[in-house]
Amino acid sequence: MGIFDKVKKTTINSRRYEEKLYEVALEEVESGEIRKGLYAKALSKADGDKEKADGIYLKLRVQSILDDIESEQINSREDARAYKVIQELKEFDLINQKKETKEERHIINAQKQKWENWNATYSGKIQQKFNTTEKTIINGLISKAQFEIDSLQVDTKIWADAKGVEILKGHNAAITFYIEKRVQVLLNV
């Protein structure tokens, strides 16, 4: 794929993403979940015209959702840095102590259990999508994507898209989306 095709593809994906955000904003309006402060701003921009304000509100709400996603990405990056420092300290302590504490075993076991539960439900669906690739390779890539999530070292573009999926379909759908897209990237599909 040439550079111009990549730019076009990025632009297309961006418009599709924006379309989903407008869909979410409209669903909120239709269900009566209007942010009063944001609607007041829309009314102000529309000089009190309620019909114009409705359209302006949707635009403002989409920007608000984008701001929420970007803020979460910033927090994730900050959390990832803190997590990395904590991991380095833990590794240092483990080297010095040469044993796991009961709490560390509990955390590790809880993390393993979380992914075992997820794998039991969703991993097979992702494997089916890549049925031409060796199963052990797919399992390794799934594990890598899971580690990225646990360590908060995610691909920010895919993570942002996954957050959009989470808004529409829920947490497990977002995790599945992220892992599937990340496996595609790692396979260079």
Residues 80 and 70 reside in one and the same domain: yes
Q: Is the pTM of this model over 0.75?
A: no
Residue whose entry in the numeric block shows the structure tokens 């833990």: 90
What pLDDT was estimated at residue 96?
Answer: 59
Same domain, 8 and 90: yes
Q: Is 12 found in the same domain as 90?
A: yes
What pLDDT, on the 0 to 100 scale, is given for residue 141? 84
Q: What is the pLDDT of residues 92-116, one digit of tens each?
A: 766 656 555 677 778 888 888 888 8
Same domain, 94 and 1: yes
* CA 57 to each of CA 45, 68, 141, 184: distance values in angstroms, whole numbers, following the listed order: 9, 16, 42, 36
CA atoms within 13 A on the CB side of 104: 11
Number of independent structural domains in the chain? 2
pLDDT at 124 over 80: no
